Structure 1
């Protein structure tokens, strides 16, 4: 078990992602790549066209003899040879052209990246759903005033829509990053044992190019088996994507506790939070996002060490990367699915946010007062004055507004009504509303484009 699952995992629609990590999907992809290889080799004249036609007709998952594969595996101890032998036998006389001029990693890695490419499309579809959810959340809360916080303390007021706009920006950057790296990550490698096309010679580069074209991938410029930077780059991108989800989850986890009470996760009747405390309602979605994200962050590190193994290939590196890629994909799947449900059903308690924004009785608007004063006496002197008054308010119970109203300078330059309005949180939210509206629209537009593009690109 690579990802951390709980009861929520059983109820979330995964867009068929989990199937793509089954043995059946693996074998089907191996067959598909072997058939594609034979087609490409026939087109350039490296093998007879009739052989490619027979292979295409007979190489099917349903024809694989798994018992025979197990028998051969017990004897030879190789993870791919039993498959190649059984598939060759099923293809009759043309079976001699199965796995022709290539090595195990050529097929396995190309197949793995082919599956990962399909999984990645589904990731983008889920991201589109998250962006749709965030678009609505930002727009609906463009005016929802709350306390902005820095270093764990109140800073100045914002709106919840502004906070959500920041989350949207993260995901828009993730989308840009992933789309930009797709051509570098999802590549075919039909270079043979070393990567120099020793078996196929001058036919090799064209075969690799054709295979990539047929699989909607890109060909590796030099299909060397010890090149792993593309895999690490993709895992890093998934980690960064996870941080976008983790950031939301951490915030929801913290601000849903009773002392804050600003948001709460979607609740379904009958859900139990504790075997001993009947009242418990836990942030199940958030904690799953946080736990799986923290596990994912550590995964690429092993890849860095393994990518530097000496010489032209090393099976220890291949074995590790096979596991790392699947683990990364399984973890981000759980993270994305939970984030989609969380953002779709999140409850925003506007009254509590307003109450918390006023908990310091106007002192959070000190910068606003300072900037008004600075228009007359400059920033530095204004900062010193308001700092003194704010510290006085922190140390006694007179109240910030009363202290400001009793100050001679402020009293002579501002009316009581002007000072009172300066302390209202809703009067000092900057461009929070504008950002919320703008990024709501950006999220909506991006979500629509992603949904159409990647749903239309699903191959299997």
Structure 2
């Protein structure tokens, strides 16, 4: 069923990394590298290592018969090693004695997961770089596109759309940095044997482990992490935060697409965003897909957090509970990123509608400007109370706040008409928007 939703919730390239064949290939890659590392240290004959490596391909694995065997064994590596051993035995009976020598199933399964996650994170980081580039362009293009800033869904005071984009970028830049750190620190080899002590390798344990890590392009940790799972939770947390940051952007865009707002729209296209019954509809389908991922990720992440307190040197169930949630987090994060790339590449921004919407409240969006200007003369509390009274008049009479302010004797006592005009000019209401945009753009990684 997942394949039906691939274009909506997932990214095909990342899904392929976690397919059954890719998973088994990663485990076989471990077994081949282990044999070669052992041969380098004289633990097994080189000819045996070569025979094992030659058989570490899917051509030698019967996947349909592997599936029910996994249910009986409790993990995929046990039946996989049996099939691999049988394949090696057909090629070289002597070499079959050395298959999986000294390792344990968790070594293979955890390392295979690390190989897959690393490949997925590289693709995710690449897409995140592209998204930040697109948002950078969007922020620059709309640096001076004035719109209503909204607090509790209501007009608060003017901002620019470039500023809003910069706020999205701020969180996404930190997500980029987190993934960068995960790639540098948390993608490690799992290699410990039965209880993590590498007891089956004697004084050759460290050289074999070092060689194995190098061959698999993973970092060698100081000690086995069979029941120390914080690295996986940190990976998952980085993905969950990224998905949530994407969800923030999608939430804003979906709200700006509302009929009553109509300031920003996802790119249009044939068959995109239509309704099965209403020909006029233009649904925020990209936003919906991203928000769905943001809704799902906390539950998946929760499973990994709950699996942290694992028993002794091999967990009973908590380890197994991690496998699918972490994979699904990688997949839905990649899918949400893909939707964000589509959405921001050609995002339609109606700057005229933004300016028109600012006047929906008959000048109330400038009430703070007026209050602050009067506060310099009257004190904050008195000024706030007086402007609040004028705002109530706007609500009851539908008169414009500027007109009421201009006719008000107390306001006129302190502010001339030119001063009032300046207070009701949206360009004079933007605060430090420009500098704040620049402050975020300077945080962009150098390679962007």
TM-score, length basis structure 2: 0.91
CA distance in 1, matches of 2:62, 2:330: 29
Alignment of 1:355 onto 2:356 = yes
Per-residue deviation at 1:286?
0.7
Output aligned runs, 1:140-179, within 5 Å.
140-179=141-180
Per-residue deviation at 1:331?
1.5
Per-residue deviation at 1:214?
2.6
CA distance in 1, matches of 2:273, 2:248: 25
Decide whether the 8 Å contact of 1:38 with 1:55 is kept in 2: yes
Decide whether the 8 Å contact of 2:213 with 2:220 is kept in 1: yes
Name the CA shift for 1:133/1:83 in 2 (closer, same or farther; >3 Å).
same
Name the CA shift for 1:292/1:223 in 2 (closer, same or farther; >3 Å).
same
Number of the residue aligned with 1:454: none
SS at 1:345 equivalent: coil
Give the one of 49, 53, 66 matched to 2:50: 53
Decide whether the 8 Å contact of 2:377 with 2:414 is kept in 1: no
Please, which runs of 5 or more residues in structure 2 have no aligned partner? none
Output aligned runs, 1:245-260, within 5 Å.
245-260=246-261
Output aligned runs, 1:271-290, within 5 Å.
271=272, 273-290=274-291
Per-residue deviation at 1:386?
2.5
Number of the residue aligned with 1:83: 80
Decide whether the 8 Å contact of 1:4 with 1:292 is kept in 2: no
Name the CA shift for 1:63/1:3 in 2 (closer, same or farther; >3 Å).
closer
SS at 1:16 equivalent: helix
CA distance in 1, matches of 2:110, 2:20: 15
SS at 1:194 equivalent: coil
CA distance in 1, matches of 2:209, 2:317: 25
Per-residue deviation at 1:377?
3.7
Number of the residue aligned with 1:449: 447
Number of the residue aligned with 2:315: 314
Output aligned runs, 1:24-423, within 5 Å.
24-66=21-63, 69=66, 79-91=76-88, 92=92, 93-271=94-272, 273-423=274-424
Q: Larger relative contact order (C-alpha < 8 A, sep ≥ 6)?
A: 1
Decide whether the 8 Å contact of 1:272 with 1:278 is kept in 2: no
Number of the residue aligned with 1:5: 5
**How many equivalent pairs are there?**
444
SS at 2:280 equivalent: coil
Decide whether the 8 Å contact of 2:304 with 2:322 is kept in 1: yes
Per-residue deviation at 1:28?
1.5
SS at 2:144 equivalent: coil
Q: Deviations over 1:370-419 (max 9, x none)?
A: 33233334433433333333333333333211221122233133221220
CA distance in 2, matches of 1:404, 1:74: 77
Decide whether the 8 Å contact of 1:135 with 1:439 is kept in 2: no
CA distance in 2, matches of 1:430, 1:71: 65
SS at 1:165 equivalent: helix
Q: Deviations over 1:134-177 (max 9, x none)?
A: 11111111111011111221111100000000000111111112
CA distance in 1, matches of 2:429, 2:54: 70
CA distance in 1, matches of 2:213, 2:220: 5
Q: Deviations over 1:192-223 (max 9, x none)?
A: 11112122233223322332233222223221
Q: Which runs of 4+ in 1 moved over 6 A?
A: 70-77
Per-residue deviation at 1:7?
5.5
SS at 1:188 equivalent: coil
SS at 2:131 equivalent: helix
Name the CA shift for 1:163/1:254 in 2 (closer, same or farther; >3 Å).
same
CA distance in 2, matches of 1:3, 1:203: 46
Per-residue deviation at 1:307?
2.5
Please, which runs of 5 or more residues in structure 1 have no aligned partner? 451-460
Per-residue deviation at 1:306?
2.5
CA distance in 2, matches of 1:375, 1:3: 63
SS at 2:157 equivalent: strand
CA distance in 1, matches of 2:323, 2:68: 24
TM-score, length basis structure 1: 0.89
Cα RMSD (Å): 2.6
CA distance in 2, matches of 1:142, 1:74: 57
Per-residue deviation at 1:3?
9.5
Decide whether the 8 Å contact of 1:194 with 1:224 is kept in 2: no
